[in-house]
Amino acid sequence: MAKLKISNKRRKAVIGVAFVSPWIVGFLIFTLYPMLYSLFLSFHQVKITPVGVKTKYVGFDNFNYAFFSDPVFVEKLLNYLMEMVLNVPVIIVFSLIIALLINQKIKFRGMFRTIFFLPVIITSGPVINELLSQGASSIPNIEQYGMFTLIESSLSPILAEPILYLFKQIIMVLWFSGVQILIFLAGLQKVDRSMYEAARIDGASPWESFWKVTLPVLMPLVIVNVIYTIVYVSTFALNEIILLIKNNMFSTITGFGYATAIAWIYFIIIMLMLALWTGVLRMKKR
Amino acid sequence: MSYQGTKVNPSKFHTSQLKFYAVLIPLAFFMMLPIVFIISHAFKPIDELFAFPPRFLVQQPTFDNFRDLFVTTSTSGIPFSRFIFNSLLVTVSVMFLSVFISALAAYAMAKMKFKLRKAMFEINTLALMFVPIAVQIPRYLVVDQTGLLDTYFAHILPLLAMPIGLFLLKQFIDQVPEELKEAAIMDGASEFTVFRKVIVPVIKPALATVAILAFQAVWNNIETSNYYVNDESLKTLSFFMSSVASGSGNTIAGQGMSAAASLLMFVPNLVIFILLQSKVMNTMAHSGLK
């Protein structure tokens, strides 16, 4: 009997591996190996010649250069960090609110859902490129309507600064929240309706039942969305650091070795960012 | 969502909706702007394209940009239909294969037990975060060494492993209750049957989302044509469109053509989106994800 059980277990494992194997092969060849190879290159000076790639070991030179000699890298990295700290919660809260709104029983619900899912095709295409180059991602007119000076004069600078920043970023935030809204919407439909009724009978207001019923169910999805948002914003092709990496790739002074070194620093920072955010959220959950 | 359903009085029900519209309509308007812009931009005559400050809407629409584009494309050596064929072939293969491969792997990682499955998923999540362009040269070397240069496979294979697809699909399959699978297994279904008959119908919204993302990644991709394919007749439509616009030598006419080309390239995006998103939204309510 015991023997049969083991072999059964093994058989299941074999099927499991069979299911993942096409993915593993593709992943190893076209993603993992190139990633590791780029790590190798980041410790080298790389020259691309018609005969092939020539490498010369330089130790941590590339990394030192990034932090101590590169005129723009550190500044752009700090900008990026500030952007992430401000934008991630805004995108998450915004997409949660939109998901709650379009989950209501209202007319044209289907149409609204389609419209708010639109960013998926806007931000990942040539469209965004065109839009950004035309400066359409900020609202130029609010600055002229005196709203900015109003906010600046009526609030303390500590409060005014982030609010102004958010106004400038609002369109970008809207455009980055398509998939997140969808994920929340799927989660909201999972919430058992009888739980709301029970909460209502116990005298909970909609506000309370949001915090006590809806949010706990959505919590795992908040983490999924945080990961998705960080990844999406960080690896977005027109992100400043990505552009910097791209510029260095074929630069005659720094070259591909240096570009991969920045890419790895950036990669590690994104990982830390992610660990930080998910850590905070998991702590809250307890 | 259940509150409105429990209210009896229909007139009160109606006014309670107004506050939602007050928020949703202005935001929806913002969301539509990019699309309005891309359409309007393609019809702008030269002087409006270069107007400063840039105007959002076209004032005197013209078909000149499309005509220029058409003239330029018809004078190139390789028939235009060839590029369309290449793009269709590559896009369709990547969409189906990558969704299928990611879904299979996601199912195994979410619902089957074998060694290293946790580790695999973690590695995938890490790979998500890696800057895609930093692997371009190593990837080129792989494509070169495996002899895929100048074949259709160079367009298809590098795009198949889609970390984001696996990530999203696994999250959705995790939510599918274990009992659904158990019940099917009890009835004598094999793992593959469970996958095909139970999991796939339930996660259709997620599959449609990943299919949209995959379509975006392939259809707009110019890197594979740029780096892995030297043979002009094997390049894709998106590459051809971008080279027509930038390589025509005349940058002023190029701007107009590029605006027209981006509209033409965008239309399939919109069509695929509209076709698939109805699946995304409709099936979600009945998906059994409870």
Residue of B nearest to A137 (CA): B34
Residue B138 within a domain = yes
Query: Is residue A149 over pLDDT 80?
Result: no
Q: Is residue B122 part of a domain?
A: yes
Distance in Å from the first CA to the final CA of chain A? 42
CATH of residue B273: 1.10.3720.10
- In terms of residue numbers, what domain contains B20? 2-67
CATH number at residue A70: 1.10.3720.10
pLDDT band, residue A70 (cuts 50/70/90): confident
Winning range, highest mean pLDDT, from A93-97, A100-104, A122-126, A251-255: A93-97
Residue A260 included in any domain: yes
Give A143: exposed, middle or buried? Use CB within 10 Å, 0-12, 13-18, 19+: middle
Whether A115 maps to a domain, the answer reads yes
pLDDT at residue number B55? 67
Output b/e per residue, A77-92; b: 16+ Cβ within 10 A: beebeebbeebbebbb
Scan for tokens 């790639």, then name that residue. Answer: A53
A11 assigned to some structural domain: no
Helical H runs in B60-198?
64-74, 80-111, 117-128, 136-145, 153-160, 163-175, 178-186, 191-193
Q: Is B82 an interface residue toward A (CB < 8 Å)?
A: no
B39 in any annotated domain: yes
C-alpha–C-alpha distance, residues A228 and A88, integer Å: 10
User: Is B129 in Cβ contact with A231 (below 8 Å)?
Assistant: yes
Residue-number span of the structural domain to which A211 is assigned: 61-285
Q: Is residue A23 part of a domain?
A: no
Number of domains making up chain B: 2
Mean pLDDT of B201-211: 86
Between CA B220 and CA A120 the distance in angstroms is: 13
The yes-or-no verdict on residue A153 having pLDDT over 70 is no
- Whether residues A256 and B6 touch (CB distance < 8 A) is answered with no
B289/A189 touch (CB, cutoff 8 Å), yes or no: yes
- Do residues B89 and B210 both lie within one domain? yes
On whether residue B73 sits in a domain, the answer given is no
- Give yes or no for residue B97 having a pLDDT over 90: yes
| Per-residue pLDDT tens digits for B2-14 | 444 443 344 445 6
Last residue of a domain, one of B27, B46, B67: B67
Residue A229 has pLDDT above 80, yes or no: yes
Same domain, B99 and B213: yes
Of residues A102, A116, A231, nearest to B128 (C-beta): A231
User: B-chain residues within 8 Å CB-CB of A200?
Assistant: 3, 6
Q: What is the DSSP code (8-state) at residue B55?
A: P
> CA distances (Å), B259 to each of A152, A156, A181, B37, B76, in order?
39, 44, 30, 10, 19
Residues B88 and B214 grouped into a single domain: yes
Establish if A7 belongs to a structural domain: no
Is B75 inside any structural domain? no
**Amino acid B95: pLDDT:** 92
Whether A33 sits inside 8 A of B142 (CB atoms) is yes
Give yes or no for residue A68 having a pLDDT over 80. Answer: yes
Would you say residue B72 lies in a domain? no
Tell if the CB–CB gap between B269 and A121 is shorter than 8 Å: yes
Residue A55 confidence (pLDDT) above 70: yes
User: Same structural domain for residues B174 and B260?
Assistant: yes
Domain assignment present for residue A84? The answer is: yes
Question: Which residues in chain A have their CB less than 8 angstroms from residue B135's CB?
Answer: 31, 34-35, 37-38
Q: Are residues B52 and B106 in the same domain?
A: no
B227 in the same domain as B132: yes
Residue B95 covered by a domain: yes
In a domain, A15, yes or no: no
Q: How far is CA B70 from the centre of its chain?
A: 26
| Residue at a domain's end among B67, B94, B109 | B67
- Asked whether residue B90 falls in the same domain as residue B233, the answer is yes
A115 and B28 in contact (C-beta within 8 Å)?
yes
Chain A residues whose CB is inside 8 A of the B277 CB are 113-114, 117
One-letter amino acid for residue A142 of the chain: I
Domain count, chain A: 1
Is B125 found in the same domain as B229? yes
The pLDDT tens digits for A163-212 are 666 666 676 777 788 888 888 887 887 777 788 888 888 888 888 888 88
CB spacing of B136 vs A249 below 8 angstroms:
yes
Interface contact B109-A20, CB threshold 8 A: yes
Amino acid A130 reads E
Domain co-membership, B49 together with B116: no
pLDDT of residue B287: 46
Residue B58 shares a structural domain with residue B143? no
Please compute, for residue B38, the number of CA atoms within 13 A of its CA located in the half-sphere on the CB side.
25
Measured CA to CA, the distance from residue A178 to residue B267 in angstroms comes to 19
Could you tell me if B19 and B159 lie in one domain?
Answer: no
pTM (2 d.p.) = 0.80
Asked whether residue B211 is assigned to any structural domain, the reply reads: yes
Continuous H helices in chain A: 2-27, 33-42, 61-64, 73-101, 109-117, 119-123, 126-133, 140-144, 147-154, 157-175, 178-188, 193-201, 206-209, 215-235, 240-249, 255-285
